[in-house]
Amino acid sequence: MHSDADFMRAALECAALARKTGEVPVGAVLVRGDDIVARGFNHPIAAHDPTAHAEVQTLRAAGQTLSNYRLADTTLYVTLEPCIMCAAAIIHARVKRVVFGAWDAKAGGAGSIIDIFRLPSLNHRVDVFGGVLSDECGELLRAFFSAKR
């Protein structure tokens, strides 16, 4: 049985792939049971697509793998707190649980600037937990932006 930290390490591997291509290093994996169903990483720059965030890429891949746009009984591990767009996509996909690493004070949709997951009128609830391997996830981002400046 894998732990949240184990799956976050897999998401960090995906984030490293984004960094290698010059994208903001955010990675994600979607898990059902003890199996990784899909992986993704940021690549909006290369894709010329503002929606090509790690979470969206992972949800899209999982939908194809599972032949279903409903991703019930899954957990999404992502190295950075989901933004508002990604939080909404996660809810629409019916993901059961989200585990993220670093908090995003500028764009976080899971509590940093707003908590999309707690809006009272939504018909699906997602269990959200942040801070898993936050130091490692945050350092990857800090190093990337430090090198850019």
Catalytic residue numbers read 55
What the block records as the tokens of 11 is 């998401």
3-state secondary structure string, 13-76?
HHHHHHHHCCCCCCEEEEEECCEEEEEEECCHHHHCCCCCCHHHHHHHHHHHHHCCCCCCCCEE
